[in-house]
Each structure stands twice: as structure tokens, then as C-alpha cells.
Chains A and B, each alone.
Chain A
Amino acid sequence: MRILVAMSGGVDSSVAAALLVQEGHEVVGATMKTFCYKESAGPSRTCCGLDGILDARRVADHLGIPHFVFDVEEEFARDVVDDFVAEYAQGRTPNPCVRCNANTKFRDLLRRGRALGCDRIATGHYARMRTAAAGESHLLRGVDREKDQAYFLWGLPTSLLPLLHFPLGGRSKPQVREQARTLGLATADKPESQEICFVPDGNYRGFLERKLPQLHPALQPGTVVLSDGRVVGDHSGYAGFTVGQRKGLGGGFDRPHFVLEIRPQTREVVVGPMEELYASEMWVEGVNWLTGTPPTPGGEVAVQIRHRAPGVRAAVLEVDEGVLLRFKEPQRAVSPGQSAAMFAGERLLGGGRIARALTPEASALSTPRHGAGHSGMIARDE
């Protein structure tokens, strides 16, 4: 079988490729060139994520497989980067890796894989594929719960599932690193990348300042208020804030305060103590069902609202364009813009974007008041 494997130059995808070679497949490596690093600050004029591409190429050489570079910069800028900027401009916290997987990476791998005569598409994600009794393809969580990346895959087109292969799904990260060393892969001890690929310095604010018009409201000063409306300070632009963050709010509170909500219309950043971060229900929009059909109201799912968090039980109240879920226990930090991935046991059913969180008292009246969240850093899936 000829398999196309996406190689980022990191240790996970390197080992994934190596495992496929060991299994005896005809393996073709590919690196997606998503973003030109020329645009980001830095003294070296290395072009286009060149280091990652060269690392991937070295690994491919070592494995004796061909390696190609696919230029998806244009699609990536349109479908991922522009969305990232637009979401932040509206005071939400996006998941660019989810967006990329759903719109760019896997679709493009499939398209080019077919062009290259490949039968399967593989990546280094920590997730598993299983063929159920009826021949249906199920996407399952990775065995290593620390690394499990099923959360990032809810947006994949259902038609893709039968073609996917995740060689690392049954392994742990330490096993993968060990394997990389055993194989003598140059990338074995490469540190885990922590930042999203197109903001390599992690400075989202600086990135947004380059991408948004200078006078965009998100970059203008505004006030910091409590949920009762009292003004407690000011800020230099809400694009600097992520819902749920504690850092950077200044002192003066008798106990820790967190960002509860960003109101782009008035440029207010709402803050409050921990207990105000809890929500009992949430609306999820832009949903995608890997099962083909949505769950029925009255059922229950396990919903994961951020990377590395466990799935929590939630009742499905309504299903139409979106889904209304009620948590069995109120949840902290339900951040608008972030992904909600829904599971039945190990199996990923689908997911969507959190549109808004409803607090215990507000949901009783069905009048959403604010979203709340917590994520100091945008989770990424590699």
C-alpha cells in the first residue's frame, strides 16, 4: 500500500513515518508549507519554515523515502490565519489547529495523496482509527491521555475517515521518543513545539497588530469592569486579552480575578472572581458530525472543552444548526471560540465551536450573559 505521511520535521511525525516504513508500506513523506516565516520578526531571513522542512527531509532521507513539499500558504492564510485574526478581533479565542485540520491539512493531504497515487493518509496525531462491525470508521482517542489529540480532529470531513491512519495512536510519548532514538532519527530530542506555527514567538498581540488595521477597536484602549458594571481599571486594547486569563489584570483585588468576558462593542474587558467563571450550559455552533448523523436531544455525551481536559458528562438539550448542552456539573472556563469535542466513550462523535456559555442563574432564564474561559495559551496539536 502506498501511504502519504505528513511530516512536520518534529519527532512525532518522524516516528509515524518510520513505523509505516517498518510495516512494509511504500511511504511518501510530505511537508505542508503553511506560512512564510519571513513575515514574523527575526533577524535571519530563512524562508518559509525552512528548518522544519529541512528536518523532515533529513528524516525522509534517513528512512529512504521520497519527500515532497506542498505549498498551502494561500489556503492556510485564507482559512486559518484570517479566521484567527477575525476571532480575536471579536473577543473570542480561536483554535487554529482545529481549523487547519478541518479545512486545510487533511483535505489537502487527501487531494495530493490521490494525485500521487496513495491509498492512505497518515499523520503523527495521537489518535486511533478503528473499523466497526458495520464497516464504519471510528476515530478514537489516543492511548496516551497526556498527548491525546482527538480533540483537534472533530472538524474532519467524514468521507476522509476510511482513508486515515494514525501510527502513534497506541503509543505513549516516551515510547515515541525512545523509538526515535532507536531509529537514530535526527529529530529524537527536538523539544516539543509549544506555539502555534504562524506565531513562533508566541506574541499574539504583536501578530494581531501587524494583521489588523492600526485603528481597529481591538487595539484601542478600553475599560476593565466587574460584572456589575463598576469600572476597576483600563487596558490598552482587548486584543491583548484571552478569556480566563489572570495575568496582566493588575493588582488591587482582594482575591484573584480572571477575565470573564470581552465585549468588543464597548471595548470592555469584564473581570471577576473564580466563582463567576462557572457555566452550566453552552451553545456550540458550526458543528460537524463524524458519525454522519447528530445525536438526538435527550441523549448524553462526554464533552471536552479544551486540550488535555477530560471529557465531562453533558445532556444534549437541543440540536439544530448548533447544539445546546447542559453540563452534569457546572464547568469552569467555557471559552467562546474554543472547540467543544463530543465523545461516546473513546469515540469522537464530532464537535463545534463554543458560541457562548450560560451561567447557572442566566441559563435558568435562557438569557446568556457572558462567556467565561481559561486558557493562558492557545492549545496546539503538535
Chain B
Amino acid sequence: MGTIYLDHAATTPLRPEVAAAMAPFLQGLVGNPSSVHRWGRAARSALEDARERTAALLRVRSDEIRFVRGGTESVNVAVLGRAAWLRERGDGEVVFLRSRLEHSAVRESMDAAGALGVRSETFEVDASGRADLPTARELSARGVEFVSCQWVNQETGMILPVPDLARECNAAGVPLHVDAVQAAGRIPLELDEHPIAMVSLSGHKLGGPRSTGILVLRKGTELRPLMFGGGQERGLRPGTEDVAGAVGIARALDLSLDTMEVESPRLADLRAWLEAGLVGAIPGTRVHAGGASRAPHILGLGIPDLPMDVLPGALDLEGIGASAGSACMSGSTEVSPTLRALYGDDASGYAPLRLSLGWTTSAEEVSEALRKIPPIVERIRVSAGVTS
């Protein structure tokens, strides 16, 4: 059975160039970058090269790049680090604001920040991509001390109006954190043009290694470290540095940005083909955030008259890797917060299916998926009506 992988938003294959770049740092003696001797210096040099390359690609300063162990960690360091810093300053209860669509890393770290005196508030975004953005004046009036917003939504591909939000936050003097995990390499970020205080990135979503991430921390934004011992990454992420990982994520970012001009339109075409084909073949199918501006690699569908949680399994048995959107470890398939925010109670009437494309996705795969998926959906629809 030929298999088709359409879950690149979950993770995407390691690029061979990345593996090649990392290889020298995964074998033999690789020094500790903190050591004074030649082996240490060599490791330090590779690490700092990776940092400088990353900074240049993201158009920020190299001392604004913190290498961390993944996108989730990057988010936690930003959200909880800011909460801890504010608490240390003794402000009492503070308000953190986020969009309702955020990934669980942001939602749950903000909830956890409740223990540090943070009250979480949200702003709405609708299915057409319109966000109820707070103005600078409102931010000040509400006592908001921190704002977090994703640039691209992980379930629908929707692009959120981050530049507009950055302007308002900047005018109010409120630091903005942006989860750009799904945005990097798919849409231009141009961090030199937008006053964004913190940006979180993940290596493996770019074809880089797992457990690598970046927190871009712009000058002038203070965070309190959450971990201690050794002072690496300017105190924010202590522990012996992962040189191979830093080299890997830098190379992955390099390749992603380098190919974006060609790759994003290619994925957008494939996505449009997949979308039109499935919507045409499966009656009643809704394209999540279909009217909004979307990143090219994600297609979120809602399919009516289906049980909510069998579709990814049924597709898997026929060789197709896809997901229902976000699922917790135990496989629960409650309606996701994103879809709940976009569609309200109406979300529960549609089984979610997220197909996401990546650098290995070919036209043959899309064609094959278009041939295979509609009959599987039809079979499930028929079987759902068999017993009750």
C-alpha cells in the first residue's frame, strides 16, 4: 500500500541538508561551548555561527536569539517568564490577553500563570479572519501587561493580523508575544518591520530537528528565568547547549526561508486543488476559515454527518496520515478551542479533518488523496446510520 503523509503541520520530515549540517556535531568529541579549550571554542563557534545566521534570517540582532528546546518551551519561557518578572516587580494582579484561537501551549501556560497573579483575558477572532483587536487605549485602560497572539492558526491556517496588533501594543507600551510556529517558512515574518517583543519558533515544523526551538527576545523586554544553573542563553535557558540542534534549526530556517518564494505558491496550488476536489466530492463539507487569508500549507475541513473521531483512524488504515486538528494525549476529540471560537456550538456538527502539506508533498500524493478520501468518508457515513 502506498502511503500519503498529509500531516506536516504536526511534524515534517527532517531535510537531508539539515541532517548533513548536524552530522559533525552528533559524533566524536564535540566540546562543551562553555569550556575554554579548543574543543570548547570550536563548539562555541558553531553555536554562535548558528545564532548569527538565525538572527540574520529573522532580521533581528544575534543577542536577541535564545535557543530553547522546542516551540512549547519557547512559549512557556515567554509567558511564565514575563509573569514571574512582573510578580517580582510587585505589580499585584496583572492582565494577560490572548486570542481565543491560541495553541494549548499559550492557553495553558497563561492558565498556569494564574498562580503568579495573572488574570487571562481573550479577544475574539471570527471565521472570516476579522479580529476584535484591542486599541492601544483599550490595552491601557484594561491594565493589560502582556499580549500573546499566534501568527498562523494550526488547525485552519488562518493568518491573524499580527502587524496591526503589534502597532497597538507598541503604542501602549505592552509587550507582544507571537507564536509563529506555523507561520515561519510559510509567510514572510519581517521582524524588523514590526515591533514584536517576543517570537516563538519550532525547529521540527521547518524540517529541522525535534526538541529545538527559538525564542526571539527583542532588546528591552525583561523576563525572569524559569530554570537555573549555568547561565547559558543569557540565563534564560541554562544547561549545556545543544550545538547540533542549534546548527540544525538554523539550517532548517535557512532552507525554509530560501525556498519560500517558490514553495509557498506551490503548496497554495496543491492546497487549492485538494480543497476544491474534496469540497466537490463530499457534500456539505465546510472549509474552516475558508474566507480568511490563510497560510498555504493547512486545509481545515468540517464534514457533516460523521462521527467526530473515526476519520483519522479510517484514513490511517488506508495509508493516509491526517489529523482531526488538535487532540490531547489520550485521543480525546472534544471540539477544539479554535473551532469552538470560530463556529460556536455549530462546530460540534462537523467532524474536523486537518490535511497539511509540506516540502515533500507531491502532486501525485494530492491526486491519490483525492481519489481515496471521498469513498472512505462515504463508507463512514453509511456505517454511522447502520445501527443506533
Residues of A within 8 A of B (CB): 2, 28, 31, 33, 47-50, 53-54, 66, 68-71, 73, 107, 110-112, 114-117, 157, 159-160
Q: Which residues of A contact B332 (CB under 8 A)?
A: 33, 47-48, 69, 71, 73
| One of A117, A159, A160 near B379 (C-beta < 8 A) | A117
Tell which of B318, B328, B331, B388 has the most Cβ of chain A within 10 Å: B331
Q: Say yes or no for B316: interface residue by CB 8 A criterion.
A: yes
Count, A-B residue pairs, CB within 8 A: 77
Cβ-closest chain B residue relative to A113: B383
**Shortest CB–CB separation between residue A159 and chain B, in angstroms?**
7
- Tell me whether B331 and A68 are in contact (CB under 8 A): yes
**Shortest CB–CB separation between residue A371 and chain B, in angstroms?**
34
Q: Which residues of A contact B329 (CB under 8 A)?
A: 47, 50, 54
| One of B316, B333, B386 near A114 (C-beta < 8 A) | B386
Interface size on B, residues (CB 8 A): 24
Given A47-B328, A47-B332, A115-B380, are A110 and B313 neighbors across the interface (CB < 8 Å)? no
Which residues of chain B from 184 to 232 have a CB within 8 Å of any chain A CB? none
Given A66-B313, A116-B317, A117-B314, are A111 and B330 neighbors across the interface (CB < 8 Å)? no
Closest A-B pairs by Cβ, 5 of them: A69-B331, A114-B383, A68-B313, A115-B380, A48-B330
Q: Which residues of A contact B386 (CB under 8 A)?
A: 110-111, 114
Cβ-closest chain B residue relative to A116: B314
**Shortest CB–CB separation between residue A39 and chain B, in angstroms?**
14
Other than the known A115-B314, A115-B384, A117-B317, what 14 A-B pairs have Cβ atoms closer than 8 Å? A33-B330, A48-B328, A50-B330, A70-B310, A71-B333, A71-B334, A110-B386, A111-B307, A111-B388, A114-B379, A114-B383, A115-B307, A115-B383, A117-B314
- Tell me whether B387 and A159 are in contact (CB under 8 A): yes
**Shortest CB–CB separation between residue A275 and chain B, in angstroms?**
47
Given A71-B334, A107-B387, are A112 and B310 neighbors across the interface (CB < 8 Å)? yes
Q: Which residues of A contact B387 (CB under 8 A)?
A: 107, 110-111, 157, 159-160
**Shortest CB–CB separation between residue B253 and chain A, in angstroms?**
33
**Shortest CB–CB separation between residue B322 and chain A, in angstroms?**
13
**Shortest CB–CB separation between residue B105 and chain A, in angstroms?**
16
- Tell me whether B328 and A71 are in contact (CB under 8 A): no
Q: How many angstroms from the CA of A33 to the CA of B328 in the assembled complex?
A: 12
Tell which of A2, A68, A157 has the most Cβ of chain B within 10 Å: A68
A–B Cβ pairs within 8 angstroms, 12 of them: A33-B330, A47-B329, A53-B331, A54-B329, A66-B317, A68-B310, A68-B316, A68-B331, A69-B332, A71-B308, A116-B314, A117-B318
- Tell me whether B309 and A111 are in contact (CB under 8 A): no
Q: How many angstroms from the CA of A114 to the CA of B313 in the assembled complex?
A: 12
**Shortest CB–CB separation between residue B303 and chain A, in angstroms?**
12
**Shortest CB–CB separation between residue B347 and chain A, in angstroms?**
15
Q: How many angstroms from the CA of A355 to the CA of B313 in the assembled complex?
A: 42
**Shortest CB–CB separation between residue B352 and chain A, in angstroms?**
13
Q: How many angstroms from the CA of A33 to the CA of B332 in the assembled complex?
A: 8
Q: Which residues of B contact A50 (CB under 8 A)?
A: 329-330
- Tell me whether A53 and B330 are in contact (CB under 8 A): yes
**Shortest CB–CB separation between residue B381 and chain A, in angstroms?**
9
**Shortest CB–CB separation between residue B94 and chain A, in angstroms?**
25
Given A47-B329, A50-B329, A50-B330, are A28 and B383 neighbors across the interface (CB < 8 Å)? no
Q: How many angstroms from the CA of A107 to the CA of B388 in the assembled complex?
A: 7
Q: How many angstroms from the CA of A68 to the CA of B328 in the assembled complex?
A: 13
Q: Which residues of A contact B307 (CB under 8 A)?
A: 111-112, 115
Cβ-closest chain A residue relative to B383: A114
Q: Which residues of B contact A73 (CB under 8 A)?
A: 332
Q: How many angstroms from the CA of A47 to the CA of B384 in the assembled complex?
A: 28
Tell which of A50, A53, A110, A116 has the most Cβ of chain B within 10 Å: A116
**Shortest CB–CB separation between residue A220 and chain B, in angstroms?**
36
Q: Which residues of A contact B316 (CB under 8 A)?
A: 66, 68
Q: Which residues of A contact B328 (CB under 8 A)?
A: 47-48
Interface string of B256-274 (1 = CB under 8 A from A): 0000000000000000000
Cβ-closest chain A residue relative to B333: A71
**Shortest CB–CB separation between residue B18 and chain A, in angstroms?**
27
Q: Which residues of B contact A71 (CB under 8 A)?
A: 308-309, 331-334
Given A107-B387, A110-B387, A115-B380, are A33 and B331 neighbors across the interface (CB < 8 Å)? yes
Q: How many angstroms from the CA of A21 to the CA of B331 in the assembled complex?
A: 24
- Tell me whether B331 and A28 are in contact (CB under 8 A): no
Q: Which residues of B contact A68 (CB under 8 A)?
A: 309-310, 312-313, 316, 331
Q: Which residues of B contact A112 (CB under 8 A)?
A: 307, 310, 313
Cβ-closest chain A residue relative to B310: A115
Q: How many angstroms from the CA of A28 to the CA of B380 in the assembled complex?
A: 16
**Shortest CB–CB separation between residue B8 and chain A, in angstroms?**
20
